[in-house]
A and B are shown apart, each in its own frame.
Chain A
């Protein structure tokens, strides 16, 4: 894509004054987003914002687009003012906008005209009373999951509905399959059961609760989301984080990846009834979580990442203990996962199951290990490095086939590379303080933070008001991009392979529902 698309251009973890973001007429805005995405840019975020702080009209709405150019590590931010509650949809010309536009429609009652699949996302009432994209009467509370599902008609077609309550202890989500015998023609996923209103809680912050809310937006991505939040806050305050703190942040983030990837490989083995790896990895995930606990006292890394640095230092005695336990856990994981690759019966299940093509993957804007498994070279740690990743690189792990095997294999590659990364960081561990003072947030600024969580790209966009408080805090979990990938993966597959495909993506329900 072009280096200049007429938007404001910043880097990851930077803030700019809101007045420096060019406000374009809608037609112009739409054309530039479509053009940028068509020529290789990534739509990282598209969101609506009640523009009251900057304009006279209290009811005016702005749209913001954040486009990531991974070739130049640039982030383009543009905005437009909407004059009515309807606007021509971007989705027909820019597929990644699909879910963002549904979200905008639901939150602010702005109807993207010509949207091919305009359905609620999280089933809540509009944030702007009196404005509803579906013209539902004011005061009605939508019931989660109640909408028109796509249907395939025919004598031999049957519909299978799964969830929202599942057989295992997992999060709620509703899945509708249109099947012909064992073959799935179409899968539709309806979420929203976990909607807690996280984004709205953050408005008016930061306060004492803010960081804790961020850490619990998705419990398994506590460190990832906290890292993105702190990156945004550091950008808005101009805080300088010491090298030691950056290294510790990187270690914490990679530990989260190690624990979750290990757990996922075990869960994949469990879904194909391959006992040894399933039981070993279940325990080993705990070992990696315990390493997080050794770092900061919490297995999920809560309290570790703080604005301006980290909450806990790693002294030499604990460093030695840490490295020792890391070596033990990695050795055991290697043995357990090698069993997986060495079993023909496991490979027969993994290969050619739930494949997503590279074209589809690009078209819908998938991220993270699921996208890398399709052969897409995208990794925020490489493309938009922040913190310690600017000084120490992790190679991008990719595969080609886009199937369950590829998604499992990418995870395994990343486990090895994360362990190498942590070891090499600790071998030349910088000295210094671990936490810097953080001042007040700059008023009327916008900051973008991109972080490669273990599931993929996490995008946080913070807008401050005149007083330096959050006027809008937008979070995009990697799952938001990837749920559509799961739908595509199931096309023409056996319905009995759904649990396996689902596990190979292992997407977050609460991260999506916010």
Chain B
């Protein structure tokens, strides 16, 4: 019974909270710009608006174009079934689920990029090329971080790796954990197309990475992409919160509020980064991603020395 309640709570939070993160980022940026900014709940209104619209599909596209948004949404939901939220492990948990998590995102990227290529537009092809290039470099950083956690916890499922051992290990292996937090934050920024890697607000097709791949999607299809992106951002934020704020008292009334505040704090940090930094030139992006890999790698070296 208790499992059922916790799983329900898990899925309710996982499905309703993500757009709020985008709202918090928006508000933070507005604060820095000296503006009022859109309401916190604006991303929800945007999604409702999009789902009420019709979609336009170019006659040159095939089923791949329509599959892109659907896969992006489904993989986002599946990923959140695996990621532990609050103090509980996810509804689905098994040994090796971390690999599934990583490649759910990979699958989503594959279909988004394929849908972009399906339009035949030179812009979208360019965006797809950029997206997969940078993903190649972000993936090792993510896995090296997982390796640190696997080594620390001796476990190969997300619940074990991100569970109570994190709090125990901070005093002993804090340096490794801090390096992983930093590395994963960089991965979060690149995977979710935030500044300094990509500019989610730009209207300039030639500079876009992720946005340019979804230019041809409209209405509900575009809504699914936006919602899927919000889910992905939430999943990454959850991973980072588990590492950075490893509070696990076992009391759900304490753990859940701390966890939710933590994810919102991650959104604020993203907003601050976006407000104080310019975008990197594209050729510099691989350098920063290599740095993210190195951070995680040093985390491992510190463990095995």
Residue among B34, B203, B204 facing the most chain A CB atoms (10 A cut-off): B204
- Tell me whether B305 is interfacial, beta carbon within 8 Å: no
Chain A residues near B125 (CB-CB < 8 A): 158
Contacts A279-B34, A499-B204, A499-B206 given; does A272 touch B126 at CB 8 Å: no
Contact of B278 among A159, A160, A345, A497 (CB under 8 A): A345
- Tell me whether B5 is interfacial, beta carbon within 8 Å: no
The answer for the CA separation of A167 and B199 in the assembled complex, in Å, is 15
Q: How far is the CB of A470 from chain B (nearest CB, A)?
A: 41
Residue among A160, A162, A496 facing the most chain B CB atoms (10 A cut-off): A496
The answer for the CA separation of A279 and B32 in the assembled complex, in Å, is 9
Chain B residues near A500 (CB-CB < 8 A): 207
- Tell me whether B201 is interfacial, beta carbon within 8 Å: yes
- B122 and A496 within 8 A (CB): no
- A495 and B122 within 8 A (CB): no
The answer for the CA separation of A349 and B275 in the assembled complex, in Å, is 16
Q: How far is the CB of B211 from chain A (nearest CB, A)?
A: 10
- A348 and B126 within 8 A (CB): no
User: Interface 1/0s, chain B 211-229, versus A by CB < 8 A?
Assistant: 0000000000000000000
The answer for the CA separation of A349 and B207 in the assembled complex, in Å, is 12
- Tell me whether A436 is interfacial, beta carbon within 8 Å: no
Chain B residues near A363 (CB-CB < 8 A): none
Stretch from B9-17, B144-152, B279-287 at the A interface = B279-287
- B284 and A348 within 8 A (CB): yes
Chain B residues near A3 (CB-CB < 8 A): none
- B278 and A272 within 8 A (CB): yes
Q: Which of B129-162 contact A (CB under 8 A)?
A: 129-130
For the complex, would chain B's binding face be called helix, strand, loop or mixed by DSSP majority?
helix
- A168 and B35 within 8 A (CB): no
User: Interface 1/0s, chain A 132-170, versus B by CB < 8 A?
Assistant: 000000000000000000000000001111100001100
Chain B contact-residue range equals 20 to 34
The answer for the CA separation of A279 and B31 in the assembled complex, in Å, is 11
- B122 and A168 within 8 A (CB): no
Chain A residues near B261 (CB-CB < 8 A): none
- B207 and A275 within 8 A (CB): no
Contacts A272-B278, A273-B274, A279-B34 given; does A160 touch B122 at CB 8 Å: yes
- Tell me whether B1 is interfacial, beta carbon within 8 Å: no
Contact of B203 among A168, A278, A279, A343 (CB under 8 A): A168
Q: How far is the CB of A62 from chain B (nearest CB, A)?
A: 44
The answer for the CA separation of A279 and B30 in the assembled complex, in Å, is 9
Chain A residues near B199 (CB-CB < 8 A): 273
Which residue from chain A places its CB closest to the CB of B29 in the assembled complex? A275
- Tell me whether A92 is interfacial, beta carbon within 8 Å: no
- A343 and B206 within 8 A (CB): no
Contact of A275 among B32, B122, B129, B204 (CB under 8 A): B32
Q: How far is the CB of B54 from chain A (nearest CB, A)?
A: 22
- A167 and B281 within 8 A (CB): no
Contacts A158-B122, A160-B122, A167-B205 given; does A343 touch B33 at CB 8 Å: no
Which residue from chain B places its CB closest to the CB of A182 in the assembled complex? B282
Contact of A345 among B130, B202, B204, B280 (CB under 8 A): B280
- B280 and A494 within 8 A (CB): no
- A276 and B206 within 8 A (CB): no
Q: How far is the CB of B70 from chain A (nearest CB, A)?
A: 26
Contact of B281 among A158, A280, A348, A499 (CB under 8 A): A348
Q: How far is the CB of B32 from chain A (nearest CB, A)?
A: 6
- A349 and B279 within 8 A (CB): yes
Chain A residues near B207 (CB-CB < 8 A): 271, 496-500
Chain B residues near A396 (CB-CB < 8 A): none
- Tell me whether A274 is interfacial, beta carbon within 8 Å: yes
Q: Which of A478-514 contact B (CB under 8 A)?
A: 494-500
Which residue from chain A places its CB closest to the CB of B279 in the assembled complex? A273
Chain B residues near A168 (CB-CB < 8 A): 203-204
Q: How far is the CB of B217 from chain A (nearest CB, A)?
A: 15
Chain A residues near B195 (CB-CB < 8 A): 273
The answer for the CA separation of A75 and B276 in the assembled complex, in Å, is 49
- B278 and A274 within 8 A (CB): yes
Chain B residues near A160 (CB-CB < 8 A): 122-123, 126, 206
- Tell me whether A1 is interfacial, beta carbon within 8 Å: no
- Tell me whether A91 is interfacial, beta carbon within 8 Å: no
Which residue from chain B places its CB closest to the CB of A160 in the assembled complex? B122
- Tell me whether B196 is interfacial, beta carbon within 8 Å: yes
Which residue from chain A places its CB closest to the CB of B200 in the assembled complex? A273
Chain B residues near A272 (CB-CB < 8 A): 278-279
- A275 and B275 within 8 A (CB): yes
Chain A residues near B304 (CB-CB < 8 A): none
- A496 and B282 within 8 A (CB): yes
Contacts A275-B29, A275-B275, A345-B196 given; does A162 touch B280 at CB 8 Å: no
Contacts A161-B122, A348-B284 given; does A343 touch B277 at CB 8 Å: yes
Interface residue ranges, A against B (CB under 8 Å): 158-162, 167-168, 181-182, 269, 271-276, 278-280, 343, 345-346, 348-349, 353, 494-500
Other A-B contacts than A274-B277, A276-B276, 4 sampled, CB-CB below 8 A, are A159-B122, A275-B33, A349-B278, A496-B282
Interface residue ranges, B against A (CB under 8 Å): 29, 32-35, 122-123, 125-126, 129-130, 195-196, 199, 201-207, 274-284
Interchain residue pairs with CB less than 8 A apart (10): A160-B122, A182-B283, A271-B202, A272-B278, A275-B29, A279-B33, A280-B33, A349-B278, A497-B281, A499-B207
